[in-house]
Amino acid sequence: MELTLKNSHISCQVSNIGAELRSLRRLDHDDEYIWQRDPAIWVGSAPILFPFVGRMKNAGFMHEGEYYLFPIHGFAASAKFQLEANTAESVIFCLRSDQTTKQIYPFDFALTVTFSLFMSTLNVHYTVENLSLGTMYFAIGSHPAFRLPLEGASLDDYFIEFSKPEVSECYKLEGDLLAVNPIAHPLRFDRRLDLSATIFDEDALIFKHIRSRALRLAHRSGATRLTMHMGSAPHLGIWAKPAAPYVCIEPWHGYDDDAESSEELSKKQSVISLRAGDVFKTDYTVSI
């Protein structure tokens, strides 16, 4: 099931499978901003990463004496969300734990995702509620892929500008895990990441603890393609299939394990702990 939201400025389409954003368009010109899931390149468009972000050491975790095998980025992206409410400009989906999720993730939870439009801005809001009797451990991230209009251009014609100078460390993946040591800082003037056909040859760039709250995707002429506000997310992933005509700008509350990570869930570096009955909220916005 796909639902369409629209106001006088923009429209978007959202699927109940994964509560995934499938389309974002301005109404004053015929231009799609979301990657259209070409199976020959990458079948995602904006998966939600929950209840963990990235890869786990030895493909799983230990909790209360039991070991759980766990897939990369969790299970929310392929799950069927329930429709909770819908208007012309907003929609609310919810994913609740069940016997299937508890086989690999032993917590009771409710993940609510709200999409809403305001003028030329889309807001995506997450609420995670711990319905377990004890502390729940999780991470959550966004993975939206933004289509680049490449007629007569190339990836080298685009860059991502950070709203503040960044001194945060940047990491790459080594095999199936995050590298222990950071790479040389890839930002020009501490603020600008120039895209290219080869920049993602070794997978994603992952920035821990960034200062910037806004990121601008722009053409080298200076024209802004879109602006993302990261909400409270402390970490950022930037990725695309090599030379593909899109770029993922990913606000994360969490990141991949590295070789030194503990297998004990409560001791993982980027895990969020949520007490019984408590609620965690975060969001991001995209202005086009």
pLDDT digit string (tens) for 11-51?
A: 999 999 999 999 999 999 889 999 999 999 999 999 999 99
Q: What is the Cα–Cα distance from 217 to 35, expressed in whole angstroms?
A: 14
How many Cα atoms occupy the beta-carbon half-sphere of 85 within 13 Å? 9
For residue 115, name the pLDDT band (cuts at 50, 70, 90): very high
How high is the pLDDT of residue 207?
A: 97
How high is the pLDDT of residue 175?
A: 87
3-state SS, residue 199: coil
Q: What is the Cα–Cα distance from 3 to 188, expressed in whole angstroms?
A: 40
How high is the pLDDT of residue 157?
A: 94
How high is the pLDDT of residue 44?
A: 97
Instruction: Work out the percent of the chain whose per-residue pLDDT is above 90.
Output: 94
Average pLDDT over residues 197-218: 96
How high is the pLDDT of residue 218?
A: 97
| CA dihedral sign, ordered 260, 266, 270, 271 | positive
How high is the pLDDT of residue 204?
A: 96
Contacts of 98 (CB under 8 A, 6+ apart): none
Give the pTM: 0.96
How high is the pLDDT of residue 155?
A: 87
For residue 253, name the pLDDT band (cuts at 50, 70, 90): very high
Instruction: Work out the percent of the chain whose per-residue pLDDT is above 70.
Output: 100
pLDDT in tens, 152-171: 778 899 999 999 999 889 99
Q: Is the pLDDT of residue 150 over 80?
A: no
Residue 36: which of 6, 2, 85 has the closest Cα?
2
Q: What is the Cα–Cα distance from 275 to 223, expressed in whole angstroms?
A: 45
CB count within 10 Å of CB 15 equals: 18
